[in-house]
Structure 1
Amino acid sequence: MRVKVNTIAQARTKKGWTQEHLANVAGISARTVQRAETIGSLSAETAQAICAVLDLDLGEIAETSADTRQEINLPIGLILIAIVLGFGVGLMVGLWAR
C-alpha cells in the first residue's frame, strides 16, 4: 500500500525516535522504515505495525488517490504516436534492408 512519507517521519521524530528504534519497537527492519519514509510503499501488515507503535490510525498514513498526483500518466495520444512512429521506423528499416 502507498503511505504518506511525511506523516510517518513526523510522528517518529515527534516521539524522539530514530528509524532504528521505530524498527525495533514495531518488529520490522530498519530498511523497511527507510523505505516507508522515502518511497512510501509498505505492506498493509507493516503499515498497521507502524501505526500501532506511533499511535496513528491507518487512515492517517494511507495515501489516497488524490494524494498520488505525482504518478506519471501519459495521455493516450502520446502512446498512439509512439506506436505509429515505432511501426513506421520498423517498416522503413525493413524496406531499406531488402
Structure 2
Amino acid sequence: MDLNSATIREIRIDRGWTQQQLADISSLSLRTIQRVESQGLGSLETSKSLAAAFEIERDILLSKNTTIVESASLPQAVNIYFLLFSFALGALIGALVLWLLVL
C-alpha cells in the first residue's frame, strides 16, 4: 500500500516524536517506520496502526492525500482567529462604552 511518507514524517515531527517513539506508540518496529518514511510502503495493518497512533483517519496517510494535513490544523487556526476577533470586539465595545460615558 502506498503511504504518503512526507505526511507521516511531518505529523511525527510536529508531535515531537522520534521514529523510535512512533514505533513504540504504534506497536510497529523501528524498521517499519523507517521504511514507511523513506519509501512510503506499508501494509494495511501498518496504516491502521499509524492512524491509531496519530489519532487521525487512515485516509489522511494515503499517498493520494497531500493537503489533508494542512486542513487538519484548521480548527486550531480558527480558534486563534476567533480569540483575536473576540479581543478586538471587546476592545471596540469597551471604547464605545467609554465614549458614551464621556458624552
TM-score, structure 2 as length reference: 0.60
Please list every run of 5 or more consecutive structure 1 residues that lacks an aligned counterpart in the other structure: 68-98
Q: C-alpha distance in 1, partners of 2:12/2:31?
A: 15
More helix by share: 2
Aligned pair count reads 66
**Partner residue of 2:52?**
52
Q: C-alpha distance in 2, partners of 1:13/1:63?
A: 18
* 1:59 match: secondary structure: helix
Which amino acid in structure 1 is aligned with residue 8 of structure 2? I
Deviant stretches of 4+, over 2 Å: none
1:2 positional shift: 0.4
Aligned CA RMSD, in angstroms, stands at: 1.6
Q: Deviations over 1:13-47 (max 9, x none)?
A: 11100000000111110010000001000000111
TM-score, structure 1 as length reference: 0.63
Q: C-alpha distance in 2, partners of 1:49/1:59?
A: 12
Which amino acid in structure 1 is aligned with residue 9 of structure 2? A
What is the aligned-residue identity percentage? 32
